[in-house]
Amino acid sequence: MRTRDENKEQAIRTKAVEMVVRDGFDGLSMQKLAKAAGVSPATIYIYFKDKEDLIIQVCHQLSARMADATLADFDPDMHFDEGLRRQWLNRARYCLENPVEMHFLEQIRYSPFNEKCHSKTDMRFRNAMKRFVHNAIDRGELQRLPVEVYWSVAFAPLYQLVKFHMSGRGLADAPFEMTEETIDRTLEVVLRGLKP
Amino acid sequence: MRTRDENKEQAIRTKAVEMVVRDGFDGLSMQKLAKAAGVSPATIYIYFKDKEDLIIQVCHQLSARMADATLADFDPDMHFDEGLRRQWLNRARYCLENPVEMHFLEQIRYSPFNEKCHSKTDMRFRNAMKRFVHNAIDRGELQRLPVEVYWSVAFAPLYQLVKFHMSGRGLADAPFEMTEETIDRTLEVVLRGLKP
DNA sequence: CTAAAATAAACGAACATTCATTTATCTTTG
DNA sequence: CAAAGATAAATGAATGTTCGTTTATTTTAG
């Protein structure tokens, strides 16, 4: 029998992400996607059940990649300051190196697709984070806080910086670029708030 | 001549927001919207130039409402702690009282529509914020920070809490509700980080 | 009356998906 | 080793549906 051309599936996935980022969800049509990926419309349905399945599969793939990138060189038993910095740098680097994928995931996160895209990978990732936090609390490196409070303070500022960076503009519509210096300065403030 | 029925325009706006929140941007069709609003499809085009104009106008209306709510009982000359708390409570209350509108605005913010929805109201609002911050720095109530760093630490955590609350679930898929106690606890941490 | 509001019906275009057919590759046979 | 058969990949064309928008007509208030 004829063998699958994996390049075609990946072309479909890649172009789908690009189209959603450029034109929004209503700009993603199966026929235009097929043309962009250099493939017949019917071919898409060999790899994906339907349009929704395509979006969900792409979402899972990208989420897993991002989770992996975030956990690189990270150990839940690290000192809190070091571990948090490692994660900030990992996340920042991933976002800067994959702006389109990042944009796609954010667009998913705030759309009705969000509920359908919860994966088990997220669970593995969350458990690592949970252990990291409890270690830090036990060692007196971190205040005892409700986990949602901790998360909000520890990560939301980073993602806001990333958002500024990706839009290219800061608050007063002034050009903005997120440097490692910016990251460290912000992290300094956050850590001071979180310390016991 | 016949007079405009303002109720019809508002019904169109309201239903449009509901449809986008429930079904996403690709779930908003002019014919379904007309049916939901109890109106003929052609009537929508009396009030709005086209579909894009409809979305942008709705976005502007809701942004203005939210900016107003945020600035209620707020004065840029307030003490930093008091002023920030006032804004947190204002924003939190608005989000909790208008979850659907909030969800709509977030969906806009991460979509390609975002660029087309920048309003002058945002500018007025941003200027008030800028003055508030410079006052606080001059009085020694706040560290001198790049404005994007300040903003990321001062507000992103609040919006993350709101996001948890609106989804109804916290980090470990456990039920989560944002109470005034949660807000104050988080604000405490943030303020500690931002103080000189 | 008049003029704008409101509508029902209709427009071509684009939509997601399917179907009948062709193409490419592996397996079996001589 | 080569030709035939088997099978899934891949396709172009067509399906009926729904899309955003317009037009011709009716309704309603000043």
What does pLDDT average to over chain A? 94
Q: Could you tell me what percent of chain B has a pLDDT over 70?
A: 100
Same domain assignment for residues B143 and B187: yes
pLDDT at B130 over 90: no
- CATH assignment at residue A24: 1.10.10.60
**pLDDT tens digits, one per residue of B144-176:** 999 999 999 999 999 999 999 988 888 877 899
* Residue with CA nearest to C8's C1' atom: B40
- CA-based R_g, chain B, Å: 19
Res. B15 pLDDT band, cuts 50 70 90 = very high
Q: What is the pLDDT of residue A108?
A: 95
From B46's Cα to the closest Cα of chain A, the distance in A is 24
> In this predicted structure, which of A2-11, A95-104, B61-70, B168-177 has the lowest mean pLDDT?
B168-177
Whole-number distance in Å between B102 CA and D17 C1':
33
Q: Could you tell me what percent of chain B has a pLDDT over 90?
A: 85
Same domain assignment for residues A121 and A71: yes
* Residue with CA nearest to D20's C1' atom: B30
Distance CA A94, CA B28 (A): 33
Same domain assignment for residues A27 and A82: no
Same domain assignment for residues A16 and A64: no
Between residues B170 and B179, which one has the greater pLDDT? B179
From its phi and psi, is residue B72 left (phi > 0), alpha (psi between -120 and 50) or beta? beta
Distance CA B79, CA B75 (A): 9
Instruction: Confirm if B181 and B174 have CB atoms less than 8 A apart.
Output: no
Same domain assignment for residues A36 and A131: no
pLDDT at A19 over 90: yes
- pLDDT mean over B28-44: 97
* Residue with CA nearest to C15's C1' atom: A29
Same domain assignment for residues B131 and B161: yes
Q: What is the pLDDT of residue B48?
A: 98
Distance CA A178, CA A158 (A): 10
Q: Which residue of A has its CA nearest to B154?
A: A157
Chain D bases having any atom below 7 Å from a protein CB = 6-14, 18-24, 27-30
Total of domains in chain B = 2
Q: DSSP labels for chain B? A: -PPP-HHHHHHHHHHHHHHHHHH-GGG--HHHHHHHHTS-HHHHHHH-SSHHHHHHHHHHHHHHHHHHHHHTT--TTS-HHHHHHHHHHHHHHHHHH-HHHHHHHHHHHTSGGGGGG--HHHHHHHHHHHHHHHHHHHTTSS----HHHHHHHHHHHHHHHHHHHHHTB-TTS-B----HHHHHHHHHHHHHHH--
User: Is the CB of A43 within 7 Å of strand D?
Assistant: yes
Footprint on protein of nucleic strand C, Cβ below 7 A: A 1-3, 28-32, 41-42, 44-45, 50-52; B 1-5, 8, 31, 38-43, 46
In a domain, B54, yes or no: no
Same domain assignment for residues B7 and B78: no
Task: Pull the structure tokens for residue A71.
Answer: 């956990």
In a domain, A53, yes or no: no
Res. A187 pLDDT band, cuts 50 70 90 = very high
Whole-number distance in Å between A64 CA and C22 C1':
38
Domain membership of residue A179 as a residue range? 59-96+105-194
Best mutation target among B95, B160, B163, B173 (most A Cβ atoms within 10 Å) is B160
Same domain assignment for residues A42 and A83: no
pLDDT at A98 over 90: yes
Whole-number distance in Å between B15 CA and D22 C1':
23
Q: What is the pLDDT of residue B105?
A: 96
Q: Comparing C-alpha atoms, which of B140, B134, B37, B114 is closest to residue A103?
A: B114
Does B189 contact A189 at a Cβ distance shorter than 8 Å?
no
Same domain assignment for residues A44 and A63: no
Same domain assignment for residues A78 and A136: yes
- pLDDT mean over A11-23: 97
Q: Enter the DSSP assignment of A155.
A: H
In a domain, B163, yes or no: yes
Same domain assignment for residues A33 and A64: no
- pLDDT mean over A21-45: 97
